[in-house]
Structure 1
Amino acid sequence: MQMERAGLFPRWAARLAVAMSVAWLANAVLHRLFSGRFWLWVLPDLAPPPVYMVVPLALLAAAAVGLFRGPRRWAMAVAGTAVVALILGFGQAGLNPRALAVSGRAPAGALHIVSWNTEYWDQTDDPAHFYRYLTAQHADVYLLQEYLNWVNNGPQPVDDLTRLRKEFPGYQMAISGELVTLSRYPIIATPPIATAWPVDSSWYSQFQARKVLRTDLDVGGHTLSVYNVHIPVQLGQGGLLDTSFYRDVHTRVRHRTAEFSALRRDVAANHNPKLIAGDFNTTPSMGDVSWFRSHLSDAVRADGSLYPASWPAFGPTVWRLDWAFTTGLHTYRYDFRSPEGMSDHRAQDLWLSLRSDPGQKGRT
């Protein structure tokens, strides 16, 4: 006869725990199957990545310490399903287990890269503060997103070229729609990336279609390809009971999928050392970045934080939406920097070198 064990909570709590553990395991399996493949899964994808660790750990702890009464097989069922869900969800939780081994030191001569979603440039900021923040980074290359203002629920172009040239003398500049790349190194080419939308010479067309700006830089006689990325968000406005909301989500996901596909194709065909960085509007739990994580090196390997996150910059920062991937490069340091109240995104700060540099060793 199956023995019932004592616990702090009644038997119904055991039944509830079993149901929750089975439901969460089903969610973990469906997430693996559908994330990045089925457009409607973007809604459950929005959950903070730590839930893929916190929920199964909580269920496992409840089963292990006997918080509820009921047959022992119920506790074993909870523990077993929680362990499987934990294994399935570990890679989606956003944790950085390499953090404890990070030295955080970069050698002299390392390239300094800053990537930042500015949140509508300096529209609501003191321009002096905005440019003081940028120039204080002393970066060799800046990858900036949202070079625009937002007026009457729509994007509007800005013209800050005079100020940019004044603040960054000696830098070369490439601009496409809302994307700005500034470089101390010569820009030798700006190969176009395939677009998901029809594109013409108008600013709005460039804004809509050009979500990746590639610049090839001459770094000490070597060509480094730098991709400035801003993948569109998944959600617009509207409620869950509004059919137009789902049509909008479907359109946005198609746009995102096309952008990711075009970027993957260009990266795969490009044999130069590469840095791909920017606002991906994608978390570690989303399947959209699976290809990049498996084929390239995530710069987070050089981050000393156990849970690196970039959004929102104010309050609890629980989502990593900003990414940096490399190949043919060694990353020494990677951090998320405070935007000093000027953006909802933290800035990505990288120090790296070409692997072909004399004396530089290590994994890309």
Structure 2
Amino acid sequence: MTDTRVVTATAGPEPARRSRWRTWPLLSAPIAWLVFVVVHRVLSGRVWWWQVPELVPPFAFAVLPVLLLAVALAARTARGWIAAVTLASLVLGGGATGLNLASLWHRPPPAPPGAITVFSWNTLYWDMIVGGETMPPPTGAPARDIDAFYRYLHEQKADVYLLQEYVYFGRDSKAIRVDDTARLRREFPGYHIAVASEMVTVSRFPIVLERGIDLRPWLSEERDRAIPPDPGLPGFSAVKTLRTDIRVGGTGGNGENMISFYNTHINSPVHAFPQGPDPRRLNRTQYERRLANLRALAADIDKNPNPTVLAGDFNASPATGIMRLLPERLVDATPALESLYPTSWDDRWPLWRIDWAFTTPDVTVHRYGLVRSDGLSDHSGQHLVVSTTG
């Protein structure tokens, strides 16, 4: 009798090992990105050296998880883990994406009679032109057409203009005072003008109070109290916000018809020259000044009972944690924008949003738009229509 044996083949460890080798590369990228997002949330705005990762365009926090999810859908192994890790990074980093999801449903109320039009704009060194004693504009910027510059301002039809970089720079990269008051009065007859450092506010309504906000009392360490002198423009390094209290109606000057406008230009995380977001020029001194400016601004707003509009160039993208230093009671005007991914810089190749507008709850934003500058600046302007509940 023949002994017949049935031999059953069993899978060895080799296929399992090959499966693991295929899984880890697919899973390592989502894990690495999740770790980066968590570290970013912890460190952004809290340590000076994290300013380098903050230069990443905010849309990366949305685009990269979408690409990783696409990989997860195509993967045959660990698909659920990859999707879970990627979705976690998308949720944690959602506030840094710069996406204005509110634009899909938010509809601002119509502007009532007497609503105020506000225009905020970083002018790129005012009307500075190539040649003479002034420094040429940054690489790629055309020579300034001064008449076009003022035409652009008139096109905004604003009641209040909050303008930054009212300054020239010499060839030694030192700030030089601008005095364009005569032309401003010709171009805007009957308007009121306030100037502090490199900010100028031009208002159709009477300016009752004007004050530059000094950052020096808010510098956190003694070694950072040495603000370099600015003989060409005193206060240039110490004052980066101009507050103006403007009477917009009536004659009593009470809180119901007084609005405070804060015209701000928070320090750049990099030195001004040469131009561009060069990480090699990031340093702790710039970071400390940014913190001091925002703290000084927040302290003034917290003590101010007036309805308030804050707008300007914050040199901070949606991915920049330093913006958490703003008072919690301020309301971001972004939902009134119609763009899903609003950007304001660089105006030629817009990737970042670094110009912002905020109000206190007693101010309603009826319209808000970012206005391209047609080559006159590297920033888009911010155009708002607001009213007070009073």
Alignment TM-score, normalising by the size of structure 1: 0.87
Residues 197, 212 of structure 2: 8 Å contact kept: no
Shift of 1:342: 0.4
Write the distance in 2 (CA, Å) between the matches of 1:165 and 1:12.
72
Give 1:136-285 correspondences, 5 Å limit: 136-152=155-171, 153-196=173-216, 203-221=232-250, 222-236=257-271, 245=280, 249-285=283-319
Residues 292, 325 of structure 1: 8 Å contact kept: no
Matched letter for residue 155 of structure 1:
A
Matched letter for residue 234 of structure 1:
P
Q: Which piece of structure 1 moves more, 277-286 or 76-85?
A: 76-85
Shift of 1:109: 2.1
Write the distance in 1 (CA, Å) between the matches of 2:311 and 2:331.
12
* Structure 1 pair 201–345 and aligned structure 2 pair: CA distance change class (3 A): closer
* Structure 1 pair 163–320 and aligned structure 2 pair: CA distance change class (3 A): same
In the other structure, the counterpart of 2:253 is: none
Write the distance in 1 (CA, Å) between the matches of 2:328 and 2:63.
25
Give 1:274-353 correspondences, 5 Å limit: 274-292=308-326, 294-315=328-349, 317-327=350-360, 328-353=362-387
User: How many residues were matched structurally?
Assistant: 340
Q: Which piece of structure 1 moves more, 105-114 or 188-197?
A: 188-197
Does structure 1 residue 46 correspond to structure 2 residue 55?
Answer: yes
Write the distance in 1 (CA, Å) between the matches of 2:50 and 2:340.
27
Give 1:127-138 correspondences, 5 Å limit: 127-138=146-157
Shift of 1:280: 0.2
Write the distance in 2 (CA, Å) between the matches of 1:96 and 1:13.
37
Residues 112, 387 of structure 2: 8 Å contact kept: no
Does structure 1 residue 75 correspond to structure 2 residue 40?
Answer: no
User: Structure 2: which 5+ runs fail to align?
Assistant: 1-10, 129-142, 217-224, 251-256
Alignment TM-score, normalising by the size of structure 2: 0.81
Shift of 1:270: 1.0
Write the distance in 1 (CA, Å) between the matches of 2:194 and 2:95.
36
Write the distance in 2 (CA, Å) between the matches of 1:113 and 1:179.
15
Secondary structure, aligned partner of 2:311: strand
Residues 199, 206 of structure 1: 8 Å contact kept: no
Secondary structure, aligned partner of 2:235: helix
* Structure 1 pair 20–141 and aligned structure 2 pair: CA distance change class (3 A): same
Write the distance in 2 (CA, Å) between the matches of 1:250 and 1:280.
17
Residues 196, 212 of structure 2: 8 Å contact kept: no
